[in-house]
Amino acid sequence: MKKRVKTYTISAVAEMYDIHPQTLRLYEREGLLKPSRSDGNTRLFEDSDLERLEVILSLTRDLGVNLAGVEIILNMREKMAEMQSEFERFFAYLRSHATEFARHNEELASSEALIPVSRIRALRREPSENGD
């Protein structure tokens, strides 16, 4: 059974945050908010939309950021969240393969096939057997 997501109409959101519904429509036109729509085309705001709205209002009301700046900041926040997620996946991968990496490193360290870099340089300087 699919869990129902709690949604709010534009008038409910406007009242909750003491803003005019036109402000919410403007934020949507500017691409700052993306509420879903009902079958009757009514805007439906979810909790994630409200969290985003709170950031927008904090930036505009408390910090005096204009809407262009808000858009830049929101985009940067999204990119940073994506990067954080990628780092977390990468570190989880490293942790899950740490013993494998350690074993591989030990094998390389004990391998007789490895030649120290200083020896390779010395070999390159020595004349070849052909007299080159």
Q: What is the pLDDT of residues 27-40, one digit of tens each?
A: 999 999 999 999 99
Alpha-carbon dihedral of residues 52, 54, 55, 59, nearest 10 degrees?
A: 140
Determine the average pLDDT of the residues in 64-76: 97
Pick left, alpha or beta for residue 114 (phi over 0 → left; psi -120 to 50 → alpha; otherwise beta): beta
Domain segments of the chain as ranges: 1-65, 84-126
Q: Which residue has the tokens 């262009």?
A: 68
The average pLDDT across 2-28 equals 94
Task: Report which of residues 2 and 62 the model is more confident about.
Answer: 62
pTM attached to this predicted model: 0.67
For residue 45, pLDDT beyond 80? yes
Question: At 37, is the secondary structure helix, strand, or coil?
Answer: strand
- For residue 40, the model assigns a pLDDT of 94
**The pLDDT value given to residue 58:** 97
Architecture per CATH, domain 1-65, reads as Orthogonal Bundle (1.10)
* Residue 30: per-residue pLDDT: 95
